[in-house]
Structure formats: C-alpha cells, structure tokens
Structure 1
Amino acid sequence: MKENKPVNNSPMSVRIPIIIAFTLVIGMLVGANFFGGQSRMNNVAKGIAKYREVLSLVETNYVDSVSTDSLVEFSIKKMLEKLDPHTSYFSTEDVAAARSQLESGFDGIGIEFNVFNDTVYVVNAMVGGPSDAVGIKSGDRLIKADGVSLIGQKVNSSLIFSKLRGPRGSEVNLEIVRNGESKVRTFTVTRDRIPSYSINAGFMLDSQTGYIKVDRFTESTYDEFKKALTSLKSQGLKRLVLDLRGNPGGYKDRAEKMVDELLSDDRLIVYTDGKGTKFDSQTFTRQEGIFEKGAVIVLVDENSASASEIVAGALQDNDRALIVGRRSFGKGLVQMPITLHDGSELRLTISRYYTPSGRSIQKPYALGKEEDYEKDYEQRIKSGEFFSSDSIKFNEKLKYKTVAGRTVYGGGGITPDVFVARDTTYYSKYLTELFSKNVIREYALNYANNNLKTLDKLSFKDFSKQFVVTDVMMADLQKLATQAKIKYSAKDYERSANYIRGQVKALVARNIWQRKTNRTLNNEYYQVLMSFDETVQKALQNFEKAEKLARGEMVETLTHSGKQ
C-alpha cells in the first residue's frame, strides 16, 4: 500500500492562519487590557497561543481542504455560547441587516409588498416615493427585478429585499402586471432614501384619552414620540395609553428621553451595573416634559423587551404610570457593539439594567444553557402565567418598593399592575394558515382596490359606523383561501370568524386612509381594532387607578394590596 504523505502547502496557505491568529491575538490582548489587568492578559495570551497552534495544524496537516475563515467564525460563535444569552457575534454580512432594524430609513424603491400564492403584490406605493413617481400602483404584481424572477416557491422576503433595496441613486428595472391586464409593463425605478417609522399609531380614543403605539426604539423614535404627543395635546389630551406590546427594544437613550417627557423633577429613570465601575451609569430626568401631569397607562406583554422594559419599569417605580397587560420579556443585559478588524461585530454584555427601585430586569439564565433560556416562553404557557394572575409566582426575596411605597417584585421582566389574560378563544389552525399565506391581507387589498370609488367618498367616522364585512365577503375570502390550498374547517372558521371580520375591516380601512391621507401612521387600522382589543378595554376601565397615581395617591395593584 502506498504511504499517504502530508500535502505540501503553499507559503500563502501557511501564512493565512498565522495572520488571522495574530490579528485575533492583538484584538483579544487589547480587549484583555481594556477589561482587566495583567493576569487576565496572561490568561488570554496562553489561550490564543493554543488556538493559533491548533488552527495552524489543521490548516497545514488536515486531510481535506478547509476554510480557515469559516473555522474562525464557528469557533467564535461556539465560544460565546458559554456566556450569557445576549452576547453575540455578527458576520460582516449580518452587521448591515442588524443595524438597519434600528435606523430611521433605508435606500429602496418605496413600496410595501405582500407575498400571496408565490407572487409579490404591491400593497402600497409610498406617495412621493420612487415607485409612485414612475406610476407603480397598489395591486400591481411584481414579475421580475433586473431580470430575476419574483414568482415561485423560492420567492421570499430576503430575495425581494436583495433586489429592491440598494444604494441611493442606483436603478432597478421592474416588470409588472397590473390588476385586470395581461400585458407586462416595464418600469425603471431610481432608488432613494425611504424613511421608516417606529410610532405606528397616534390618535384620540375619546375626547380626553390619547393612544400611542410604539413598535421599537430606533434613531427617530424620540422625535416621532414628541410629534405624536404634541399633536394629541393639541386635540385635548388629558390622559394617555402608551402601547409597548410586542416592542423588542432598541436604543436605550431614546427610551430614557421618552420617559423624561412624562416624568417630572429630578427622578431616576434607570441605572446599570457592570464589572467594576467602567460601565456603571445612572440616568435621571433633566428637562420639562410635554406631559408630566395627567394619567398614564403603559401596555406591555411577554414580547415587550429591553428598552420597553426600561420605560415601563421607570414609570412604575416612580408611580407615574399604571402598567397593564402581562409580565414583560425580561431582557436586562446591556450589550456594547465592538467593530472587529474585518467589519464583523461583537456585541458584548458589559452590564445589567436596574429599575429605580433596584429590580434587575433580566430574567434568570444559566451560563451556556441557551436552550433552557429560550424555553422560558413555553414554561410560561405551561405554568398558566399567560392566562391567570393566580399562576404568577412572586419571589419574596426580591421584594422592592416604589417611590410611594407600593410593593413590586424582581425576578425578571416587569410585572403589570393590572393583569390581562391572553385571549386564545379565536385561535384556530385555519386562522393560522390564513395569516401565514397572507390571505386576509390580500383579500382586503383586493376589496379596497375594487371598491375604491365608493369607499373614498366615506369619512372614516361613517366607514367605522356603516361598513360591515358581510357573509358574501367572507365567502369570497374562503374562495381565496381555497386557491391558496388552505383546507376549510367549519369548526375552525366558526371559532375565528369574528376575528377575521375585524381584521378585514381594519385592513380595508388601512388601505383606503393611508392612501387618502399620505400619513405614516396606521391610525384607522388600530381604531377599528380597538373594540376587539381586551387589553385596551381593560386599560380604559382602570384609568381611575392611573389618575390616583398621577395625584400621588396609593392604589391597589396586582403586587400591592394596599394592606402591606
């Protein structure tokens, strides 16, 4: 048998791992010096020496060819798994996408789209945007972008974004089929800056009660919030519902500034505590806010996280707002973004958030046991916490006091003052499939386009009172569902019918009034849904408590009986 000999590597193949390892050594040594003393530097140096030795041996002697870059990426990610659940690494490809979620805009063609039956439909062409300027309309089907097909099972949001977004000033050639036509129209669209917004709604629920829906905390959130709040004050705002449900967080300073508009005096908003004192901080209110007096209710749920929890915790601990809903997510670890030499990014946990009373926002976790951490949602379901306040367990060792002396509890997340159970009465497999295949949204878009002349004549007040989703409309929606290969279930349909009707009416309103008003807010959509929203209805029923808090009076809440 012929003896297998090591393959001779080129000088460059030998240098690559050494160069990479050397870069890692420098970076990590600097990091060690930055975060600790000489002993830590020595430990890191020993670890890097071993890593460099293994990497070089693999590169020079391993039986098959390997990608050193992929090994380095993999090893970094596996290393970080031994830390907390939120320290993370982003490759150069992922960095831009991650950052875009928090930016106030992006470069693109200015449309909102819907994918139905493997086809991309234009839901809305932003008025004055690049697509609107060349004549693209709601209901148009996108067939191709720069020769690449946008029809078929392989079409997904990633592909669509990669074709429609691009550098400002660049062009994209689109092939479109208009509703009711068979011929293909061709448009050349020049990409431009498209603003994105984080405040989804801002309107008056009644003559004195304002409602603001905040989706996330981005670059522009604070400015958007001030604009919405100022507008509501001019309409007679006396009390406010601030909706943070489903808000995953974002920029900490935007959240702090939002609190400053609602909280008076020199009050503590949040503080952080890390290793040593390098990353410790305290943030206080500093300026005269737009709405420092008047009742405030904040809505949260299990998907309200991070910056959302800073807002809710600050207003609760300062007895400024009544918190309504369910216990928030529990993300209270602070990450510092560190750009690495190749443009990739390390988001390293450097401290923890604490509410003014001293509660840690972060829910418990065990190092290296990310799977258990991610199962917290399932555990809340199993324990019944989403459905009954009696199932919420309070840790008596983590008892804290608000400024006025109310009892609140730590242990992760912000526990509401008034609990609202999750409503699952309308859930069904049929409804899930309608949403997953975008049937309800597509039906509402088609209905709005086909009845545009009639609907355009109505005021929203008249639409809200007069428009009814009829049985005929529901039958048409079922036909559309069948076309999307959704199996009809009479039992499921009956369970979900009222909810479907509400969604159809809300989406029709959104399609009509966004076009008519050229607003960025989805006010009409949320106004239609208000009557179905149990959390909002519960908030309105509890404004008496919120008003007492605003006057500095004690109130009975979920965690405070008033007898303690």
Structure 2
Amino acid sequence: MKEPEHEKIRNDKATVRLPMLLGITLAAGMLIGATFFGGGKSLNNIGRGYSKFKEVLQLIENNYVDSVNTDDLVDYSIAKMLEKLDPHTTYMNPQDAVAARTQLEGGFDGIGVEFNIYKDTVYVVTPMAGGPSETAGILSGDKIIKVDNTEMTGSKLDNALVFKKLRGKKGTEVKLMVLRKGEKKPLLFTVQRDRIPTYSVDAAYMVDDKTGYIKVNRFSETTYDEFKKALGTLKQKGMTQMVLDLRNNPGGYMDRATSLADEFISGDKLLVYTDGKDDRYDRQTKARIAGQFEDGPVIVLMDEGSASASEIVAGALQDQDRALIVGRRSFGKGLVQMPVMLSDGSELRLTISRYYTPSGRSIQKPYVAGHSEDYEKELEARSKSGEYYVADSIKNNEKYKFKTAGGRTVFGAGGITPDVFVPRDTLFMTKYLIQLFNKNIVREQAMEYANDHRKQLEKDGFASYKKNFVVTDAMLKRLTDDASAQGIKFNEAEYKRSKKYIQTQLKAYIAQYAWRQGHRDGLNNEFFEMLSEGDETYKKALTLFDRARLLEKGGYASHK
C-alpha cells in the first residue's frame, strides 16, 4: 500500500532518505560493465587496494575464530567505503535494489488492490478498476484473512508480509479467504495475478473554467506520457493557466523531468546541463519540441520534500522566467547518479556529475563527506531555524547569486528558493492526530461510510458532494469512540486543534473511496480536490496568477 504523500506527517529518517534513493539517473545512465569502465584509466592504480581487501577477506574466511558471513562483510565494507564520498552515492543489496527500482517502474505483478491494515486485519480499500481482483469479485470492505495457507491476522501483520503474499509473477494464481459484511461464512476466491500499472500523476482537474491543476508524485518511466495526456485533456477543457504541484516529489529519471519542462519552454532554450570529472557525462539538454503549454501563466508548488528531478523542472522554469515558484525551499539535491548493476544483482548508484540550471547554479546543498547523519538532519535544522515559518529565515549565500534570463536574482547551493514563500501550517499537528493515523482510524472510518452510503453518494454525484457534504459531529464522535476502543486516550484540547484537519481528511477519503474506482488512469482527483479545501499553499497560489502572468509577459521584477 502506497501511503499518500500528505500523510507523511513527520520527516522521519526514511522520508529524508527518499530523495537519495529516487533521484537517480541520467537519460542515458543505464550503463554497465565494459561500457562503464571501458575507455577509462588503467585499473593498475587500484590493484594494490583490491589485493589487500581480498587478502583480508580470505584470512577472515579461513582463520577467524567464529563462522562469519563474508557476503555481509563485503556489503558492509562497500557501504562504509562509500560514506567517504557524497551522500547520494549508495550501494544496495539485491533485495533493496529491486525494491528501489520498483518505485520508478511503470508497474508490478500482483492482484490489484489497495489495502489498509486496521485492527491487525487486512481490509480491501478498493480493487483496481479492471484489475484481477475486481474481475474475481473482490469488493471494497472485504477482510482478507488468509492468502493461500498464510493467516493474515495478528500483531505480526505488516505491509511487507501483505506485499510478499499478494505480489508474484504474472499468470500465477493466489487463493484468498475473505470475510464480507452480511455474509455468515468466509468466501474463497482464486485470483490470477497480472501486471498492475503504477501512476505518477496523482491528479489532473479543472479548478475553474480556465485554471488547471496537475500533481506529479515522482518522475518514473511513465511520468511524461501520463503528464502529456493530462495536459492535453485539461487544455481541451479550456485551461489557459495552470498549477503544477511538485510538493513532496523526491525525483526520479532526469530525462522525464526535462521532457516535462520542455512542454512549457519554447524554442531551443537551455533546460539543464551536467558537468563531471569525465567528459562522457557532460551534456546540455535544451528545449526541442513545440510544447502543449508554451503560453499561459504557470505556478509551480514546491516544498522541502521536492528534490532532484523536481528541482530540475522548477529550476528550468524559474531560470527561463516561465513560471512563478510558490511554497518553501526545496530539498537541494544537485548530484547525478548512474546506476550500475553488479554481477550478483546488487546495485551501485555512483555520482558521476553535478547538474546545473540554465543560469549556471548548482542546487546541491552543502555536505561534508563521511557525515551523512548531519546531511540527513538538515531538514530538521531548517525547522529549528524557523525557515518553514518565516520567509526571512531562508539564509541564501550571496556567493551563489545568479541571474535568470530576464535578470531576476536567484540563488544556488541549497535547493530552489521560491518566488513566493508560504509557511508550513503545523497548528493542527498533535500527538492525538498522529495516533489516529498510526492506527489507520481516519481511513477506516471513511471507507465504512463510503461503503454504507455508496448508492446515495453516487446518485448525488461528486459536484453535489463537494459543495454540500459536511462531516458532522456525529461522524466525528464515532471516530473518537473507535479510537478510544483501540487504546487511544481522548485529549480534548488536541482534538479541538486537529478537528478541522480531521474533517478535511475524512471528506477527502470518503470521496476517494466513493469515486476513485471508476478511474482507469490512476487519477485521484476527488481526493485532492477535497484536500485543497485545507491547503494554504494551494489557496495562496490561486491568488497569484496576475503575478505569474506579468512574469510570463516580461515583468521580471524580483519578489520575496
């Protein structure tokens, strides 16, 4: 189950590492073996080090007092060695490499359900439209209690176990035992696994009769094709100005990012260039196509979770004075990695160059080799300095001052600084709220409501729901009672602080569960339309199109 981006309430260690794992490659970066090493310098100068390492490993294997796993020692040695380099050069064992690549592939083999673990039980949130589970008869709200011969209940149940049991090779079968509301006995289903597409465009809808909104969650294999389709659809609906949401987008394939940027930038203007020690990895990427939206004001939403390929897009559009950047300073990853598959299936992602925006600025934030923990805590340091809340807390280094095509001042060496700052809203964040999400209570309450009232919701339609539906106090009482029954002590003061946010979340999830199943293109428009009601950055952006239009027409004055 892929958790929606907005649910990442805290920047934990895994969240901070995400840009390191996903912001990975050049368009032609899949070079391995002889291509990677061929034509380079002689290996003689590293021969002595290799011989020493092999000698030590053999001594351990043959003479050490206890039995050891030399494969683990090798993995550890490589990982420690790479710590002497930059924070984004990484090594992954075969299992982690497969998991990381899956994030950027266009799909996986499985049964096609979104699930939720609630009260130590797997609930089907929704079967994918046209997917194998829907075909077999699986319904929203079904409890999966057994997969083949494995019980799917209990305290040891987690996402990893569910993935392991439900995913598998296309064409293979899996037997599910299901409990369904209204049925006295368990139901048995045989589902044939198939290729399940994954999507990187979360939403694409018209805000009003002229304003379009597109949210991109990462730059994967299919991102550009998805984006082109979404852009074309919105233009047909009359879009003349748009919001591109790249918040919490950790990056991905560089060529998909430049292709997306090319849809907005005319002529043969520079989009990005790379520079490394080896000239083979130096290249310039320029606009080359007649894009679908080269005219019309554009606003790009960014935050501290926007990294790598996201920063390439934002940097190109900002430096060419094509878009107004709104939000908070981005992550600051300006190093390009080339993935090299090793003989055992493990993978080395080696930094081969730096990328630079059209004005010549590097987005990479400062780091000290061997101090990865300090690098990972940089986002936390921003919070402590007040940067997330006060625009003047952003401390750009005057040494890295650059000019856009129209002469506006921009800064490098630390992410993309927005043209218009919008502070982070954390007033609603409480321990009580975090406990609700950790137990999946909000989602479960929404799913139950959507399933119980599905016919009425579908009859009324989403437009009526958006305008008229209100999350009542009775619905909230049911939620807090459920939380108490699961051991979450009610805290009235924290509940009042979080109440509005909880209402927005409930309304958004009910909309998702009521209407998403009808989307075969992966879009989750109803969900994000409802979230926008409490999204201050989104609402601020919609007031800035006059400024974005002025920028597009040559009004290049700098803005704080």
What TM-score do you get using the length of structure 1 for normalisation?
0.92
CA-CA distance at 1:540 after TM superposition: 1.1
**Kept in 1: contact 2:512–2:524 (CA 8 A):** yes
CA-CA distance at 1:82 after TM superposition: 1.3
Query: 2:41 aligns to what?
Result: 37
Amino acid at match of 1:37: K
Max Rg structure? 1
Cα distance in 2 for residues equivalent to 1:34 and 1:357:
33
With a CA cutoff of 8 Å and minimum separation of 6, indicate the structure with the bigger relative contact order.
2
> Structure 1 residues 31, 211: closer, same or farther in 2, change over 3 A?
closer
Q: Which of 122, 125, 150 is 2:124 aligned to?
A: 122
CA-CA distance at 1:517 after TM superposition: 5.0
Cα distance in 2 for residues equivalent to 1:50 and 1:140:
58
Amino acid at match of 1:461: A
Q: Are residue 438 (structure 1) and residue 435 (structure 2) matched? A: no
Q: Which of 496, 501, 504 is 1:502 aligned to?
A: 504
**Kept in 1: contact 2:262–2:289 (CA 8 A):** yes
Alignment of 1:98-117 (within 5 A): 98-117=100-119
Cα distance in 2 for residues equivalent to 1:71 and 1:361:
35
CA-CA distance at 1:556 after TM superposition: 3.3
Alignment of 1:293-442 (within 5 A): 293-442=295-444
Cα distance in 1 for residues equivalent to 2:365 and 2:306:
13
Q: Give the stretch that moved more between structures: 341-350 or 283-292.
A: 341-350
> Structure 1 residues 146, 256: closer, same or farther in 2, change over 3 A?
same
Cα distance in 2 for residues equivalent to 1:43 and 1:455:
70
**Per the alignment, in what secondary structure is the counterpart of residue 106 of structure 1?**
strand
**Per the alignment, in what secondary structure is the counterpart of residue 280 of structure 2?**
coil
**Kept in 1: contact 2:341–2:348 (CA 8 A):** yes
Query: 2:149 aligns to what?
Result: 147
Query: 1:269 aligns to what?
Result: 271
Deviations 1:247-294 (A, max 9, x none): 010111011000111110111001111103121111000010000000
Amino acid at match of 1:104: G
CA-CA distance at 1:457 after TM superposition: 0.8
CA-CA distance at 1:118 after TM superposition: 1.1
**Per the alignment, in what secondary structure is the counterpart of residue 152 of structure 1?**
coil
Deviations 1:431-489 (A, max 9, x none): 11111111100000000101112112112111112211111000001122123221110
Cα distance in 1 for residues equivalent to 2:206 and 2:293:
15
Cα distance in 1 for residues equivalent to 2:49 and 2:35:
14
Query: 2:282 aligns to what?
Result: 280
**Kept in 2: contact 1:545–1:555 (CA 8 A):** no
Cα distance in 1 for residues equivalent to 2:98 and 2:36:
27
Gap runs ≥5 in structure 1: 1-27, 559-564
Deviations 1:150-203 (A, max 9, x none): 111111111100000000000111111012334211111100011111000000
CA-CA distance at 1:134 after TM superposition: 1.1
Cα distance in 2 for residues equivalent to 1:519 and 1:343:
32
Q: Give the stretch that moved more between structures: 141-150 or 507-516.
A: 507-516
Cα distance in 2 for residues equivalent to 1:206 and 1:316:
25
Query: 1:16 aligns to what?
Result: none
> Structure 1 residues 283, 519: closer, same or farther in 2, change over 3 A?
closer
Amino acid at match of 2:495: Y
Q: Which of 523, 526, 534 is 1:524 aligned to?
A: 526
Deviations 1:348-375 (A, max 9, x none): 1100111111111111100111011011
Query: 2:24 aligns to what?
Result: none
CA-CA distance at 1:37 after TM superposition: 2.7
Q: Are residue 91 (structure 1) and residue 93 (structure 2) matched? A: yes
Cα distance in 2 for residues equivalent to 1:345 and 1:141:
38
Cα distance in 2 for residues equivalent to 1:458 and 1:511:
15
Cα distance in 1 for residues equivalent to 2:445 and 2:520:
22
Q: Which of 209, 215, 238 is 2:217 aligned to?
A: 215
**Per the alignment, in what secondary structure is the counterpart of residue 183 of structure 1?**
coil
Query: 1:58 aligns to what?
Result: 60
Aligned length: 529
Query: 1:289 aligns to what?
Result: 291
> Structure 1 residues 230, 30: closer, same or farther in 2, change over 3 A?
closer
Cα distance in 1 for residues equivalent to 2:75 and 2:413:
34
**Per the alignment, in what secondary structure is the counterpart of residue 279 of structure 2?**
coil
Query: 1:234 aligns to what?
Result: 236
Cα distance in 1 for residues equivalent to 2:270 and 2:280:
20
Cα distance in 2 for residues equivalent to 1:192 and 1:214:
25
Cα distance in 2 for residues equivalent to 1:156 and 1:29:
38
Deviations 1:199-248 (A, max 9, x none): 00000111111000000011110011011000110111010100000001
CA-CA distance at 1:308 after TM superposition: 0.3
Cα distance in 2 for residues equivalent to 1:412 and 1:34:
34
**Kept in 2: contact 1:29–1:44 (CA 8 A):** no
Query: 1:454 aligns to what?
Result: 456
Cα distance in 2 for residues equivalent to 1:514 and 1:60:
59
Cα distance in 1 for residues equivalent to 2:519 and 2:189:
26
Q: Which of 252, 256, 259 is 1:257 aligned to?
A: 259
CA-CA distance at 1:35 after TM superposition: 7.7
> Structure 1 residues 251, 492: closer, same or farther in 2, change over 3 A?
same
Query: 1:77 aligns to what?
Result: 79
> Structure 1 residues 32, 97: closer, same or farther in 2, change over 3 A?
closer
Deviations 1:494-533 (A, max 9, x none): 0000110111011111111113455521111111122211
Cα distance in 2 for residues equivalent to 1:108 and 1:165:
4
Query: 1:542 aligns to what?
Result: 544
Cα distance in 2 for residues equivalent to 1:244 and 1:140:
34
**Per the alignment, in what secondary structure is the counterpart of residue 384 of structure 2?**
helix
Query: 1:561 aligns to what?
Result: none
Q: Which of 102, 121, 135 is 1:133 aligned to?
A: 135
Gap runs ≥5 in structure 2: 1-31
Q: Which of 162, 165, 178 is 1:163 aligned to?
A: 165
**Per the alignment, in what secondary structure is the counterpart of residue 301 of structure 2?**
strand
Q: Which of 468, 471, 491 is 1:469 aligned to?
A: 471
**Per the alignment, in what secondary structure is the counterpart of residue 457 of structure 1?**
helix
> Structure 1 residues 517, 251: closer, same or farther in 2, change over 3 A?
closer
CA-CA distance at 1:553 after TM superposition: 1.8
Amino acid at match of 1:193: R
Deviations 1:108-130 (A, max 9, x none): 00100011111110000112211
**Kept in 1: contact 2:244–2:299 (CA 8 A):** yes
**Kept in 2: contact 1:32–1:44 (CA 8 A):** no
Query: 2:11 aligns to what?
Result: none
Cα distance in 1 for residues equivalent to 2:378 and 2:519:
42
**Kept in 1: contact 2:504–2:533 (CA 8 A):** no
CA-CA distance at 1:326 after TM superposition: 0.3
Q: Percent identity?
A: 58
CA-CA distance at 1:146 after TM superposition: 1.2
What TM-score do you get using the length of structure 2 for normalisation?
0.92
Amino acid at match of 1:344: S
Cα distance in 1 for residues equivalent to 2:462 and 2:60:
68
